[in-house]
Homo-oligomer: A and B are copies of this chain.
Amino acid sequence: MSLDSVVFATDPKHPANLICTLCRQFFHNNWCTGTGGGISIKHPETGHYFIAPSGVQKEQMDPEDLFVMDSKTGEYLRVPTNLKPSACTPLFVACYQHRNAGAIIHTHSQNAVLSSLIFDQEFKIANIEQIKAIPSGKVDADTGKPLALQFYDTLTIPIIENMPHEDLLIDSLLETFEKYPNTCAVIVRRHGIFVWGPTIDKAKVYNEAIDYLMELAVKMHQLGIPPDCAIGEEKKFIQRFE
């Protein structure tokens, strides 16, 4: 079997194809322009990690540009010619191993960067319907199914300091896993965000919902409203016209 065969599949949902499709979509959201950002998906059957390479134009990637790693040995099953592995690779592996992730999305979203300037140690937003798209980390006592945050909850996302190289973020990331066992995301100050989930579909939804909430938080800040203020408390902060 050619090593190349692991990245050539006809199924558009195969990780090798899906990574390319999503990167094109993320590029148009200004999430991974200028070769920024990254993404990794674990193959649900083989368990292989598919990882976008370093320093490429994310909207122009083809399946043959992807690195593929054996999840058990940590060795590369496939190394594309002339490409370098993503500096995020150890971070992605940590999410797979310590959070049981099925996929990780890393963006340079300006909403994340601005949120990291507005907030101190934690991003917080409360009492917004979109929060209900984010998992609480708890499970239903009866069914065992994961529970989502509720409308009256506060979404808290830890913010860690950026480092000169992405692999140096690993210690902060592991500490965050300890301190915030229920979070599905970490904001890196002046850098961007990492979001993970048990499947790529869920990671994509979490990332979209969190980006929506960070965008809203920046707009609320600009209107003078604390994003985590109580319902009705916004009246104290805003000049009303009525």
Contact = CB atoms under 8 A, between A and B. Distances in A.
B34 A190 contact: no
B191 A129 contact: yes
A129 to B, nearest CB: 4
Nearest to A126: B190
B225 A117 contact: yes
A238 interface: yes
A56 to B, nearest CB: 9
B190 A164 contact: no
Interface residues of A, number: 61
| Residue from the set A34, A212, A215 with the largest chain B CB neighbour count within 10 Å | A34
A218 B68 CA distance: 39
Interface in A54-73: 57
A6 interface: no
A110 B215 contact: yes
A222 B225 contact: no
A151 interface: yes
A150 interface: yes
A108 to B, nearest CB: 6
A223 B239 CA distance: 12
Contact of A240 (B119, B188, B205): B119
B129 A188 contact: yes
Contacts of A188: 129
B212 A34 contact: yes
